[in-house]
Amino acid sequence: MPESKDKKGKAAQASNDEDAAKQKLTPKAAEALLENNPALKNELAGLDKDKAAEALRKMDISELLTGLAVGGKNQKDMASYKFWQTQPVPRFDEAAAAANDVGGPIKMIDPEKVSKTPDPLIEGFEWATLDLTKEEELQELWDLLTYHYVEDDNAMFRFRYSKSFLHWALMAPGWKKEWHVGVRATKSRKLVAAISGIPTELRVREQKIKVTEINFLCIHKKLRSKRLAPVLIKEITRRCYLEGIFQAIYTAGVVLPTPVSSCRYYHRPLDWLKLYEVGFSHLPKGSTKARQISKNHLPSVTSTPNLRPMEVKDIDAVHELLERYLKRFDLNQAFSREEIEHWLVHKGGEADREQVVWSYVAEDPETHKITDFFSFYNLESTIIQHPKHDCLRVAYLYYYATETAFTGDMKALKERLLMLMNDALILAKKARFDVFNALTLHDNPLFLEQLKFGAGDGQLHYYLYNYRTAPIPGGVNDKNLPDEKKMGGVGVVML
């Protein structure tokens, strides 16, 4: 259930006090929290004042004030605070799990007691299961997302998922048709809402669990007042339970009960002038356009020796390297070989499909061992009502790994990543991307600022459904800045 990748709203800032993580919210901080979370404010307004105040007082600054994204007028309906209180998720007002707590399920589910039929919808609407192998149903989902998914607060940009992207994102190994859930208007048969999930495995502090990755919760703008989000979430949960999957992972740009981690978005301009013209980037005071273009200039050739596009023959080597690399993080994805092939290898022969993912490997010329790899994917945004530009090509840093991570030499790792990621920027620029986005997860704090990534306003909060574990570092400190001491937490990239 991801919210906007980086909505351009203002973010509340954490306390500068080094002990902020141990503090509870002051009345002033609680007020700031509510102002930056309209949905939460609306829900608490309907509760008993004393209970609402008590819940707020118990919230940890470290959990909630590391940069809350403002929910704008086009904010997705992520279901209400009241709804989440009924779900098996950690509550705001309960004590966080101890740091040494390996974690586990919140609620044990008996599949025999799970309803075999969905809850009824409001009159005039009915449940549908989408068949994305059919071009017309894939087109329907594309239409819904293209015109009704996330926009920035100023309604300047809207995600434009290609059909190739949806095919890639929703038909991963093990995908289940039943987990592509839709709502149709009974009379017109029009698709007006959807939610989806794909199966995968996570490692949470070395505990391996089967989960559903929940994504693409989208409701037609005219139906946002119909409270469909809770119903959609309950329905996909029911369908997952019937398949024996009782946990899920999802992300949101808004604060819900209760993030297991929070990362911050960073942007590296590749075509600064275009970003400036469309209002994505601003001209810093005292600078000039020419100076900004020069500042963001990249070399035309890469620096990593023996770097080349990843091929099918590299799958096993990349799988082995990535598995070892990801196990260094508290929360990471346990990929199968089939998933590596699906997520990382672009099949060049598919002429009718747009390229979604770019992956590169560095191969030792003598041993032919893959020593490094990195990848990024394409998620374009429509530029709304601009006279010159209609599309923003955005590259998102995806998975990467390097043998240097296992040397124990942090300085060497930093130097290697600076070279690899600078090459990723060069290759993205050659592929005509306008901007390169990355979160503060993995080992990204080692290179973001040095490679001229600018801090975004958006925060991405990670959530686990029906699973409790101690808070996981998101690569940022109490001032919401990249911090090498806060790495080692999040190793999962959500689309």
**Which positions are catalytic?**
495
In sign, the C-alpha dihedral spanning 378, 162, 388, 284 is negative
Instruction: Judge contact between 153 and 7, C-beta under 8 A.
Output: yes
C-alpha distances out from residue 315 to 340, 341, 347, 406, Å: 7, 6, 13, 20
Which is it for strands 180-185 and 391-392: parallel, antiparallel or unpaired? unpaired
- Tokens for 489, please give them: 């937490």
The gap from C-alpha 187 to its chain's centroid, in whole angstroms, comes to 35
Q: Give the sheet arrangement for strand 380-383, strand by strand.
A: 157-160, 380-383, 391-392
Rounded to an integer, what distance in angstroms lies between the CA atom of residue 280 and that of residue 457? 12
C-alpha distances out from residue 235 to 22, 254, 477, Å: 37, 22, 37
Helix (H, G, I), strand (E, B) or coil at 264: strand
List the end-to-end C-alpha distance of the chain, in Å, as a whole number: 10
Closest CA to 197 of 209, 181, 220, 213: 213
Rounded to an integer, what distance in angstroms lies between the CA atom of residue 251 and that of residue 3? 7
Number of residues that make up the chain: 495
